Amino acid sequence: MPVLAYHIIFSAHGFWLPNDPRGSWSDFVRCWELFLFGAATKTNERRSVAHRPHDRALRLKAKTALKYAPVKFTGLQARAIANGFARAAREAGYIVYACSIMPDHVHMVVARCDRDAEQIVGHLKARATQELIAERLIHFRIRSLPRVERHRAGREGAGKCFSFQRRRSFAPSGTSTTIRSVNK
């Protein structure tokens, strides 16, 4: 069964925690303060788990343990992200069937190509982050930090604007749908 396109989701930092009681696509929780709210809740669920009943108050309290505040994109940031995605699409020839940039996450449907979904996402995230930096729309200082901290700040500061899950790969109608999740 050939895969025609990928439904990929870029979650803004803090949108969906690795130990969300409804499940997540994470294998572990990096931050000790966040781990105190529970271990990673890895799921291989093929459909959205957002509707599952859970302790919302506990989930919101866990978000207070984040080292950085949850990211909420402004309209200007969303435009910069779109420009970064467009640049990546032009560079690699991606065919983007749909893209919705929400305040705290992005949904995108990208045609299958010679790169796997993880590479596509890395490219899209890199160009979106570069555009946010070029337009001075994200605020963090990397150059003033020592080398090891600079890498960490890049991952947790700029790079943590986004996390990634490939939720669904679309196959032709009449065949079963393949779903694979990845967390970056």
CA distances from 141 to 51, 85, 104, 148 (A): 38, 24, 22, 14
Instruction: Tell me the three state secondary structure of residue 162.
Output: strand
Q: Is residue 154 part of a domain?
A: yes
- A 10 A CB-CB count for 31 gives 15
How does pLDDT run across 54-92, given as a tens digit for each residue?
888 888 888 888 888 888 999 999 999 999 999 999 999
Provide the domain count of the chain. Answer: 2
Non-local CB neighbours of 10 within 8 Å, separated by 6+ positions = 105, 106, 108, 121, 124, 125, 162, 163, 164
In a domain, 184, yes or no: no
Note the pLDDT tens digit of each residue in 83-134.
999 999 999 999 999 999 999 999 999 999 999 888 998 999 999 999 999 9
74 bridge partner residues: none
Same domain, 140 and 166: yes
Of the two residues 11 and 152, the one the predictor is more confident about is: 11
* C-alpha distance from residue 174 to each of 1, 14, 171 (Å): 10, 37, 8
In this structure, the answer to whether residues 86 and 165 fall within a common structural domain is yes
In three-state secondary structure terms, 174 is coil
Q: What is the pLDDT of residues 13-25, one digit of tens each?
A: 888 888 888 888 7
Domain containing residue 141: CATH number? 3.30.70.1290
| CA 25/CA 22 separation, integer angstroms | 11
φ and ψ at residue 170, rounded to 5 degrees: -90, 130
Residues 61 and 74 in one domain: no
User: Could you tell me the pTM of the whole model?
Assistant: 0.70
Domain check: are 77 and 130 in the same one? yes
Which range of residues forms the domain containing residue 82? 5-10+70-170
Positions of E strands within 29-114: 96-101, 105-111
Structure-model confidence comparison of residues 3 and 147, the more confident one: 3
Cα–Cα distance measured from residue 143 to residue 141, given in angstroms and rounded to the nearest whole number: 6
Contacts of 50 (CB under 8 A, 6+ apart): 22
Three-class SS of residue 99? Answer: strand
